[in-house]
Amino acid sequence: MTWMITGGAGYIGSHVAAALVAGGHRVVVLDDLSTGDPARLPAGVPLVRGSILDRAVLDRALRGHEVRGIVHIAAKKQVGESVARPLWYYRENVEGLRTVLEAAVEARVRSFVFSSSAAVYGMPDVDLVTERTPCEPMSPYGETKLAGEWLVAAAGRAHGMSTASLRYFNVAGAASPGLGDPGVFNLVPMVFDRLSRGLPPLVFGDDYPTPDGTCVRDYVHVEDVASAHVAAARRLTEDGDAHLVLNIGSGEGVSVAEMVGIIQEVSGHTGTAPDVVARRPGDPARVVASAESIGKELGWSAAHGVREMVTSAWAGWQLRHP
């Protein structure tokens, strides 16, 4: 059985590709390389360069590689950008997904794993976010992910495809320095960037109702995210009637202040006190996953800790910014 990974040359996609190959699966990657890098791919994995909106490219790739399972990761994913360009985000994320699903049905693909996000939850007022927590996304990006989950589930049930929507929480780290996150959009690389330029890290608000006043988040190592995809792929292959929606998180909360402290220790930049600035609109005080369901359904749990996550991310940052 061959799995196609859309967006497989990107940060998360390349880790999923490596994990699937290590698990003995045949893999082909489809990526437009707008943010991906072919050098990230495991040796021997074929790359089809093209857009998920290009039905002809999809059809040729699915037929040519005899694809029977898809891991759909390709998407635009910046919250602020989605607010500024909602029409583009809906086109890329929802219409792109619809095009992939349409091609998948035509090609008789039997299993479909969808890369979703904790952004579907919005600002949940709960200690642990379960899959039953109401979804109230606060950005077009989050809306496109929730709409994507609905579309995947509906198509799967209508056309006999087993499906899983995996809601990522805060992903960081790297399996090797060359696979580190190249973007500067999430907390860990944002702090690296500030420290590397001799600037203090920014903390957006220290007056939240949390133990140290800063936001609390659930961080998960990208290798754990990849292993969750392998577990989902295995489950969908074995159970053709499965339709799952699962959190990928550690179940442990770490405050922004705690994370900044760990980053400073790992990077050796311990002498710079963070600058506390105004809260960002829409930042909830606490978002921590319940990982109970994914443990029961897939037998999966996070294997890597926060310090290991930061250490591996720092090695990647140093490689890209010597």
Rg (CA), the chain: 19
Cβ proximity of 131 and 248 under 8 Å = no
The string over 186-214, giving b where at least 16 C-beta atoms fall within 10 Å of a residue's C-beta and e elsewhere, is: ebbbbbbebbeeeeebbbbbbebebeebb
Q: Which residue out of 89, 141, 208, 219 is catalytically annotated?
A: 141
3-state secondary structure 67-115: EEEEEECCCCCCHHHHHHCHHHHHHHHHHHHHHHHHHHHHCCCCEEEEE
**Number of CB atoms found within 10 A of residue 99's CB:** 16
Active site residue 121: no
How far is Cα 272 from Cα 199, in angstroms, rounded to an integer? 8
Alpha carbon 321 to chain centroid, angstroms: 23
How far is Cα 91 from Cα 88, in angstroms, rounded to an integer? 5
Catalytic positions = 141
